Amino acid sequence: MKIAVDAMGGDYAPEEIVLGAVEAVKAYDFDVVLVGDEKKIRGVLDQYGAKESDRLSIVHASEVIEMGEHPAQAIRRKKDASIVVATRLVKDGLCDAVVAAGSTGAAVTAALFGLGRIKGIERPCIATPIPSKKGITVLLDSGANANSKPKHLVEGAIMGYHYAKYILGVEKPTVGLLNIGEEASKGNELCQKTYPMLENLKTISFYGNVEGRDIPKGTVDVVVCDGFVGNVILKFGEGMAMFIIRLVRDTIKQSGFIAKL
Protein backbone atom coordinates (compact mmCIF):
# COMPACT_ATOMS: atom_id res chain seq x y z
CA MET A 1 0.00 0.00 0.00
CA LYS A 2 1.18 3.51 -0.82
CA ILE A 3 -0.19 6.47 1.13
CA ALA A 4 -0.04 10.11 0.03
CA VAL A 5 0.51 12.42 3.01
CA ASP A 6 -0.18 16.15 2.93
CA ALA A 7 3.09 17.22 4.54
CA MET A 8 2.07 20.89 4.75
CA GLY A 9 -1.21 20.52 6.63
CA GLY A 10 -1.70 20.46 10.39
CA ASP A 11 -0.05 21.87 13.49
CA TYR A 12 3.74 22.25 13.29
CA ALA A 13 3.85 21.16 9.64
CA PRO A 14 5.90 20.13 7.84
CA GLU A 15 8.28 19.03 10.62
CA GLU A 16 5.94 16.90 12.72
CA ILE A 17 4.17 15.43 9.67
CA VAL A 18 7.46 14.45 8.04
CA LEU A 19 8.86 12.94 11.25
CA GLY A 20 5.62 11.00 11.72
CA ALA A 21 5.92 9.62 8.20
CA VAL A 22 9.53 8.57 8.86
CA GLU A 23 8.46 6.67 11.98
CA ALA A 24 5.46 5.16 10.17
CA VAL A 25 7.45 3.52 7.38
CA LYS A 26 9.73 1.98 10.00
CA ALA A 27 6.84 0.52 11.97
CA TYR A 28 4.32 -0.51 9.31
CA ASP A 29 4.31 -2.30 5.99
CA PHE A 30 3.41 0.53 3.60
CA ASP A 31 5.06 3.27 1.55
CA VAL A 32 4.57 7.01 2.06
CA VAL A 33 4.65 9.82 -0.48
CA LEU A 34 5.20 13.20 1.19
CA VAL A 35 3.41 15.93 -0.75
CA GLY A 36 4.37 19.59 -0.31
CA ASP A 37 7.24 22.06 -0.53
CA GLU A 38 10.11 19.79 -1.55
CA LYS A 39 12.81 22.11 -0.17
CA LYS A 40 11.18 22.30 3.27
CA ILE A 41 10.52 18.56 3.40
CA ARG A 42 14.12 17.74 2.47
CA GLY A 43 15.29 20.25 5.07
CA VAL A 44 13.44 18.34 7.80
CA LEU A 45 14.77 15.00 6.57
CA ASP A 46 18.34 16.34 6.51
CA GLN A 47 17.98 17.94 9.95
CA TYR A 48 17.07 14.62 11.55
CA GLY A 49 19.36 12.42 9.50
CA ALA A 50 16.53 10.78 7.53
CA LYS A 51 16.66 10.14 3.80
CA GLU A 52 14.41 9.44 0.86
CA SER A 53 14.12 5.74 0.09
CA ASP A 54 11.99 3.22 -1.74
CA ARG A 55 9.55 3.47 1.16
CA LEU A 56 9.59 7.27 1.54
CA SER A 57 9.42 9.66 -1.42
CA ILE A 58 8.53 13.30 -2.13
CA VAL A 59 6.16 14.91 -4.64
CA HIS A 60 6.45 18.69 -4.88
CA ALA A 61 3.44 20.97 -4.41
CA SER A 62 3.98 24.72 -4.48
CA GLU A 63 0.87 25.88 -2.61
CA VAL A 64 -0.77 25.35 0.78
CA ILE A 65 -4.40 25.80 1.85
CA GLU A 66 -4.46 27.56 5.20
CA MET A 67 -6.95 26.81 7.99
CA GLY A 68 -8.80 30.12 7.57
CA GLU A 69 -9.43 29.83 3.84
CA HIS A 70 -12.80 28.92 2.37
CA PRO A 71 -12.33 25.27 1.28
CA ALA A 72 -14.19 25.30 -2.05
CA GLN A 73 -12.76 28.61 -3.16
CA ALA A 74 -9.23 27.61 -2.13
CA ILE A 75 -9.44 24.25 -3.95
CA ARG A 76 -10.53 25.98 -7.16
CA ARG A 77 -7.90 28.70 -6.88
CA LYS A 78 -4.91 26.67 -5.68
CA LYS A 79 -4.58 23.82 -8.16
CA ASP A 80 -1.08 22.99 -6.88
CA ALA A 81 -1.98 22.93 -3.18
CA SER A 82 -0.52 19.98 -1.26
CA ILE A 83 -3.93 18.45 -0.40
CA VAL A 84 -5.07 18.77 -4.02
CA VAL A 85 -1.91 17.14 -5.37
CA ALA A 86 -2.06 14.37 -2.75
CA THR A 87 -5.68 13.61 -3.65
CA ARG A 88 -4.80 13.63 -7.35
CA LEU A 89 -2.19 10.91 -6.72
CA VAL A 90 -4.99 8.67 -5.47
CA LYS A 91 -7.25 9.55 -8.38
CA ASP A 92 -4.47 8.72 -10.86
CA GLY A 93 -3.83 5.36 -9.19
CA LEU A 94 -0.34 6.29 -8.00
CA CYS A 95 -1.35 6.05 -4.33
CA ASP A 96 -3.99 4.01 -2.52
CA ALA A 97 -5.04 6.50 0.16
CA VAL A 98 -4.51 10.07 1.28
CA VAL A 99 -3.89 11.34 4.83
CA ALA A 100 -4.19 15.00 5.82
CA ALA A 101 -3.99 16.71 9.20
CA GLY A 102 -4.75 20.23 7.97
CA SER A 103 -8.05 21.91 7.11
CA THR A 104 -10.82 19.33 7.35
CA GLY A 105 -12.97 21.31 4.94
CA ALA A 106 -10.18 21.39 2.38
CA ALA A 107 -9.58 17.65 2.70
CA VAL A 108 -13.28 16.84 2.27
CA THR A 109 -13.63 19.26 -0.65
CA ALA A 110 -10.49 17.94 -2.37
CA ALA A 111 -11.82 14.40 -2.07
CA LEU A 112 -15.26 15.45 -3.29
CA PHE A 113 -13.92 17.28 -6.34
CA GLY A 114 -10.96 14.99 -7.00
CA LEU A 115 -12.32 11.52 -6.24
CA GLY A 116 -16.07 11.99 -6.47
CA ARG A 117 -18.84 10.37 -4.46
CA ILE A 118 -19.57 6.73 -3.83
CA LYS A 119 -22.44 5.62 -6.06
CA GLY A 120 -25.70 6.25 -4.24
CA ILE A 121 -24.19 8.69 -1.74
CA GLU A 122 -25.29 12.30 -2.19
CA ARG A 123 -23.07 13.85 0.50
CA PRO A 124 -19.87 12.63 2.14
CA CYS A 125 -19.57 12.81 5.89
CA ILE A 126 -16.80 12.72 8.49
CA ALA A 127 -16.58 9.62 10.69
CA THR A 128 -14.87 9.95 14.08
CA PRO A 129 -13.99 6.83 16.11
CA ILE A 130 -14.54 7.76 19.78
CA PRO A 131 -13.23 5.60 22.66
CA SER A 132 -16.06 4.06 24.65
CA LYS A 133 -16.57 1.67 27.55
CA LYS A 134 -16.94 -1.22 25.09
CA GLY A 135 -14.25 -0.19 22.60
CA ILE A 136 -15.05 2.28 19.82
CA THR A 137 -18.17 4.24 18.92
CA VAL A 138 -18.18 5.73 15.43
CA LEU A 139 -19.77 9.20 15.35
CA LEU A 140 -20.85 10.60 12.00
CA ASP A 141 -21.32 13.18 10.64
CA SER A 142 -18.71 15.04 12.67
CA GLY A 143 -18.76 18.24 10.67
CA ALA A 144 -18.93 17.86 6.89
CA ASN A 145 -22.60 18.90 6.55
CA ALA A 146 -24.09 21.46 8.92
CA ASN A 147 -27.51 21.22 7.24
CA SER A 148 -28.52 17.63 6.55
CA LYS A 149 -31.67 16.04 5.21
CA PRO A 150 -33.06 12.68 6.44
CA LYS A 151 -31.64 10.85 3.43
CA HIS A 152 -28.16 12.16 4.27
CA LEU A 153 -28.40 10.67 7.77
CA VAL A 154 -29.53 7.37 6.23
CA GLU A 155 -26.51 7.45 3.92
CA GLY A 156 -24.31 8.13 6.95
CA ALA A 157 -25.85 5.19 8.79
CA ILE A 158 -25.05 2.86 5.90
CA MET A 159 -21.46 4.11 5.58
CA GLY A 160 -20.95 4.02 9.36
CA TYR A 161 -22.27 0.47 9.54
CA HIS A 162 -19.83 -0.74 6.89
CA TYR A 163 -16.95 1.22 8.45
CA ALA A 164 -17.56 -0.46 11.80
CA LYS A 165 -17.92 -3.88 10.19
CA TYR A 166 -15.05 -3.90 7.71
CA ILE A 167 -12.57 -1.42 9.18
CA LEU A 168 -13.10 -1.89 12.92
CA GLY A 169 -13.99 -5.58 12.64
CA VAL A 170 -17.35 -5.46 14.45
CA GLU A 171 -19.26 -8.55 13.37
CA LYS A 172 -22.78 -7.11 13.65
CA PRO A 173 -22.62 -3.34 14.21
CA THR A 174 -25.60 -1.60 15.76
CA VAL A 175 -26.60 1.88 14.62
CA GLY A 176 -28.28 4.52 16.76
CA LEU A 177 -29.84 7.87 15.85
CA LEU A 178 -28.66 10.67 18.14
CA ASN A 179 -31.62 12.35 19.78
CA ILE A 180 -32.79 14.07 22.98
CA GLY A 181 -34.68 10.98 24.14
CA GLU A 182 -35.07 7.27 23.43
CA GLU A 183 -38.69 7.41 22.31
CA ALA A 184 -39.34 7.35 18.55
CA SER A 185 -41.50 10.46 18.83
CA LYS A 186 -38.72 12.59 20.36
CA GLY A 187 -36.54 15.14 18.62
CA ASN A 188 -36.72 17.76 15.92
CA GLU A 189 -38.20 17.35 12.46
CA LEU A 190 -34.96 15.90 11.07
CA CYS A 191 -34.83 13.13 13.67
CA GLN A 192 -38.55 12.35 13.46
CA LYS A 193 -38.36 11.93 9.68
CA THR A 194 -35.10 9.96 9.80
CA TYR A 195 -36.22 7.45 12.45
CA PRO A 196 -38.78 5.50 10.34
CA MET A 197 -36.41 5.51 7.36
CA LEU A 198 -33.70 3.85 9.46
CA GLU A 199 -36.22 1.54 11.08
CA ASN A 200 -37.32 0.26 7.66
CA LEU A 201 -33.76 -0.10 6.36
CA LYS A 202 -33.03 -3.83 6.18
CA THR A 203 -29.31 -3.59 5.36
CA ILE A 204 -28.27 -2.34 8.82
CA SER A 205 -29.08 -3.21 12.43
CA PHE A 206 -30.94 -0.14 13.73
CA TYR A 207 -31.03 0.13 17.52
CA GLY A 208 -33.25 3.20 17.75
CA ASN A 209 -32.67 6.58 19.34
CA VAL A 210 -29.64 7.12 21.58
CA GLU A 211 -28.59 10.10 23.67
CA GLY A 212 -25.26 11.85 24.07
CA ARG A 213 -24.31 9.82 27.14
CA ASP A 214 -24.62 6.62 25.09
CA ILE A 215 -21.56 7.53 23.02
CA PRO A 216 -18.92 6.93 25.75
CA LYS A 217 -21.04 4.10 27.20
CA GLY A 218 -20.79 2.20 23.92
CA THR A 219 -24.52 1.51 23.76
CA VAL A 220 -24.24 1.19 19.98
CA ASP A 221 -21.32 0.85 17.58
CA VAL A 222 -22.38 3.71 15.28
CA VAL A 223 -24.10 6.99 16.18
CA VAL A 224 -25.63 9.06 13.37
CA CYS A 225 -26.38 12.79 13.48
CA ASP A 226 -26.09 15.91 11.34
CA GLY A 227 -22.69 17.59 11.02
CA PHE A 228 -23.58 20.59 13.17
CA VAL A 229 -24.51 18.48 16.20
CA GLY A 230 -21.69 16.00 15.59
CA ASN A 231 -19.04 18.70 15.50
CA VAL A 232 -20.34 20.29 18.71
CA ILE A 233 -20.17 16.89 20.45
CA LEU A 234 -16.66 16.28 19.15
CA LYS A 235 -15.34 19.67 20.29
CA PHE A 236 -17.07 19.35 23.67
CA GLY A 237 -15.44 15.94 24.17
CA GLU A 238 -12.01 17.38 23.34
CA GLY A 239 -12.50 20.23 25.79
CA MET A 240 -13.79 17.95 28.55
CA ALA A 241 -10.83 15.59 28.15
CA MET A 242 -8.38 18.49 28.45
CA PHE A 243 -10.25 19.83 31.49
CA ILE A 244 -10.16 16.46 33.29
CA ILE A 245 -6.43 16.04 32.61
CA ARG A 246 -5.74 19.56 33.90
CA LEU A 247 -7.92 18.92 36.97
CA VAL A 248 -6.05 15.71 37.81
CA ARG A 249 -2.68 17.42 37.37
CA ASP A 250 -3.64 20.35 39.60
CA THR A 251 -5.01 18.04 42.27
CA ILE A 252 -1.85 15.93 42.28
CA LYS A 253 0.35 19.02 42.56
CA GLN A 254 -1.57 20.10 45.66
CA SER A 255 -1.57 16.67 47.30
CA GLY A 256 2.04 16.32 48.43
CA PHE A 257 5.08 14.30 47.46
CA ILE A 258 3.51 10.81 47.69
CA ALA A 259 0.65 11.77 45.37
CA LYS A 260 3.10 13.17 42.82
CA LEU A 261 4.99 9.89 42.79
Per residue in 186-219, pLDDT (tens digit) is: 999 999 999 999 999 999 999 999 999 999 999 9
Please tell me whether residues 211 and 152 are part of one structural domain. yes
pTM, two decimal places:
0.85
Please tell me whether residues 133 and 217 are part of one structural domain. yes
Domain tally, the chain: 2
The DSSP-derived string for 102-125 is S-HHHHHHHHHHHT-PPTT-SS--
Domain carrying residue 55: 2-114
Per residue in 99-153, pLDDT (tens digit) is: 999 988 899 999 999 999 998 899 899 999 999 999 999 999 999 888 999 999 9
Question: Interior CA angle at 205 toward 201 and 207, to 5°?
Answer: 100
- Crossing angle of helices 82-91 and 104-114, in 10° steps, is 40
In a domain, 251, yes or no: no
Which of 114, 140, 172 is where one domain is finished? 114
